[in-house]
Amino acid sequence: MGRSVENREIKGIIIDYKKTTYPPRGMLEGTCHAREWISAATVTWIIKEFLTSTDPEVRFLAENFEWHIFPVVNPDGYSYSFTDNRMWRKNRSTANFTSCSTGDDNSNGVDLNRNFDFVWMSTGASNDPCSNTFAGPQPFSEPESQAIAQYVSHLQKDRHNLIYYIAFHSYSQLVVVPYSHVSGPGVLTASNYGDMYEIGVRGADKLRERFGTNYRVGVSADVMYEMSGTSFDWVKHEAEVPVTYLIEMRDTGVYGFLLPADQIIPNSREIMEFILEMDRVTRRMEYYHIPFSSATYFVSNTIFITAIVLFVMIV
């Protein structure tokens, strides 16, 4: 996709079974915030399922879409959360360094999920480099946010058929619908807010059936807090992607960012339930037209191994 501020590659994988010439597209974004390790793990698990599952509905979604999947879009911060500070959130830019009372290193980095050029710095973001929500000196000041925006823009300029964009975060168990700076009647600013809300509610209901995990659905201002300059809001508004979410995964605060490893698979499985139901409802609403049929069980362990090696090489 591009390179980080410390010159790491932002690596991902394209899954395309070439069943049609111009398949609809979906894009998954993981680990924008470094400390949210469950994001990288879950997005990687989804890659594995798209390549190896024999479930007919997973196969349909995997084989009839062209998927662009990036488990870690903040590789510098992710690496730093392993080597120095487990709770690091931002990228590792040093361009705005200043002395912070809580420790000099806190002023390094920009919150990538406040750095996109959509209502930038209007609410829920900070101009203080010492803050975890520091939005940067200007929109798209960071190479990581630039890379995401340029990649999405290229996909849309190429075919304008990107149907899904999901940004995976943790924690709080929320399905967040665009836009994040509005509430009340303002939610209708997003042209198809009603559809996205219904799809999100149906997906959350199906997710709950798996392990009983409850997710709330709504705009960020209603279910969490106001935000601006986020990736998924930018994708919705500027790239005009119809079905766009930010998903805050497990849990609700018992473990927080330190979610135990034994919750990775249950979390991933219930997220897949959400994705499958999202696609069922989106198809019924006729956002794209591919009749459901039993997909060919084309699974490739070779491709899966390649994908895992690619992910391991991120840091």
CA 315, CA 311: separation in Å to the nearest integer?
8
Residue 300 · residue 1 · CB < 8 Å: no
Give the residue numbers annotated as catalytic, written as ranges: 248
What per-residue confidence (pLDDT) applies to 100?
Answer: 81
pLDDT tens-place string over residues 153-178: 999 998 899 999 999 999 999 999 99
Q: Which class does domain 2-6+25-90+143-312 fall in?
A: alpha beta
pLDDT tens-place string over residues 82-141: 999 999 999 999 988 777 866 556 768 999 999 999 999 999 999 999 999 999 999 999
Region at 222 (left for phi over 0; alpha for psi -120 to 50; beta for the rest):
alpha
CA 27, CA 66: separation in Å to the nearest integer?
9
- List the strands of the sheet with 216-219, edge to edge: 13-15, 66-70, 25-30, 162-170, 243-249, 174-177, 216-219
As given in the structure block, the two tokens for residue 228 are 């601006």
pLDDT band for 219, please (50, 70, 90 cuts): very high
What per-residue confidence (pLDDT) applies to 297?
Answer: 53
As given in the structure block, the two tokens for residue 36 are 């949210």
Report whether pLDDT(69) > 80: yes
Report whether pLDDT(308) > 70: no
As given in the structure block, the two tokens for residue 30 are 């993981």
What per-residue confidence (pLDDT) applies to 158?
Answer: 85
pLDDT band for 268, please (50, 70, 90 cuts): very high
User: In degrees rounded to 5, what are phi and psi of residue 14?
Assistant: -105, 125
% the chain with pLDDT above 70: 90
pLDDT tens-place string over residues 13-41: 999 998 888 999 999 999 999 999 999 99
| Pairing state between β 2-3 and 9-10 | antiparallel
What per-residue confidence (pLDDT) applies to 141?
Answer: 98
Q: What is the mean pLDDT of residues 283-300?
A: 74
How does DSSP classify residue 134?
Answer: B
CA 25, CA 229: separation in Å to the nearest integer?
24
pLDDT tens-place string over residues 187-210: 899 989 999 999 999 999 999 999
What per-residue confidence (pLDDT) applies to 177?
Answer: 98
pLDDT band for 298, please (50, 70, 90 cuts): low
Q: Which residue has the higher pLDDT, 314 or 61?
A: 61
Number of Cα atoms under 13 Å in the Cβ half of residue 228: 19
Average pLDDT, the chain: 92
SS3 4: coil
Report whether pLDDT(305) > 50: no
Q: Which of 167, 8, 133 is nearest to 74 (CA)?
A: 8
CA 112, CA 227: separation in Å to the nearest integer?
12
Nearest 5°: the CA angle 90, 278, 231 is 25
Helices (H), the chain: 37-52, 56-64, 75-83, 143-158, 193-211, 220-223, 231-238, 264-284, 301-312
CA 91, CA 10: separation in Å to the nearest integer?
12
What per-residue confidence (pLDDT) applies to 309?
Answer: 44
